[in-house]
Amino acid sequence: MYHQSDRFAVKKSDFHYDLPVELIAQQPLPERSASRLLRVPPAPGEFEDRSMRELPELLAPGDLLVFNDTRVIPARLFGYKDTGGRVEILIERIHDEREAKAQLGFSKAPKPGSRIVLDAGGELEVVGREDAFYRLRLQSHETFEQLLTRAGRLPLPPYITREPGRDDSERYQTVFARAAGAVAAPTAGLHFDEPLLAALRERGVQFGHVTLHVGAGTFQPMRVESLHEHRMHSEWLNVGAQLCEQIVQTRAAGGRVVAVGTTVVRALETALHEGVVQPYAGDTNIFLFPGKCITSVDALLTNFHLPESTLLMLVSAFSGRERIFAAYRHAIEQRYRFFSYGDAMLLYPQ
């Protein structure tokens, strides 16, 4: 692992660590709330090996848990270019009934005006390219939503090396997923089931929601070494007036705002204006890394993140890079499960 002062952690390589491949969780546990939970208090507090079912006793009556209620869509399609080459399609965002933005996997890039014949029937026209994404137009009478419902496949993350199974359609969704539009799950929320939510309510913990549609860009590697040169992908979010009022009331009563996942942090930091979270609906490309001050939340429940990822940089901005890397060393030594179907951490500000 890397050992360098946080104030110098401005390069992608500052966030590299070595992870044994067998610690990448390939399957969900039989029960959502059976995951382990690493509590990471501010230094010099000791790490605590807990479980998700113990979360209610780690929170106080009046605390506010904020969830991301986005729902993963079956965004993966397959087909052939009109020249015969095989194409894998990952829909990033549906713009209207017949136009969408997507990532394409191919041996040779398709040209604007070319067609993709889908395995499931129907055709897509390649309208143009926008950075890493392609703009596609559906050449049929059905809408993109209808096409994905009929023929789309669940887009499991690339580090899960098996094909999606029957159980993934349920387990790669949170139990509170409502607003369809994500191509990746807000994975910190996957640890919650109805018994755990009931125990939290009984404890007096309040619930709030944002919507942030997680895009495929969350899995794209950073292509520059300097963090200051990186440009984040854009994602759509909504922070409603009801949640803003919940946050005001929680803080006024001495409670804590606890984000369930990095997407919630990104949403609330985007909506922050003059120190107050205000209603906001629209795109965000906010990039949070050490040197950025995160003030919208008082604690963060999150999974373990990929080396050199923007999510690892975000949690390092929140809790301090050295503290996060010490926690990751502990998690590896204790054989925690990593990434989307893995275990969780409860983090506090540095």
Whether 123 has a pLDDT exceeding 50, the answer reads yes
Asked if residue 132 has pLDDT above 90, the reply is: no
Q: In the numeric block, which tokens belong to residue 117? A: 């014949």
pTM of the model: 0.94
CA-nearest of 55, 22, 50 to 36 is 50
Residue 8 has a pLDDT of 53
Residue 341 has pLDDT above 60, yes or no: yes
Q: Residue 6: what pLDDT?
A: 57
> Is the pLDDT at 140 greater than 90, yes or no?
no
Q: 118 in helix, strand or coil?
A: strand
Q: What is the mean predicted confidence (pLDDT) over 16-28?
A: 98
Integer Cα distance of 242 and 208 in angstroms: 8
- Residues forming a β-bridge with 131: none
| pLDDT tens, residue by residue, 264-301 | 999 999 999 999 999 999 999 999 999 999 999 999 99
Strand partners, 347: 40, 300
Chain-centroid distance of CA 343 in Å reads 14
Average pLDDT, the chain: 94
| pLDDT above 50 (res 2) | no
* pLDDT tens per residue, range 23-51: 999 999 999 999 999 999 999 999 999 99
What are the pLDDT digits (tens) for 189-230? 999 999 999 999 999 999 999 999 999 777 778 899 999 999
pLDDT score recorded for residue 107: 86
Domains of the chain: 6-72+169-347 (3.40.1780.10), 76-151 (2.40.10.240)
Q: Which two tokens stand for residue 149?
A: 């419902």
List the end-to-end C-alpha distance of the chain, in Å, as a whole number.
20
Length of the chain: 350
Six-digit token string for 39: 């509590």
- Percent pLDDT > 70 in the chain is 97
Q: pLDDT at residue 87 above 90? A: yes
The neighbour count for residue 156, using CB atoms within 10 Å, is: 21
C-alpha to C-alpha distance for 28 and 156, rounded to whole angstroms: 12
Q: Is 339 left (phi over 0), alpha (psi -120 to 50) or beta?
A: left
Run of H or E including 148: helix 144-151
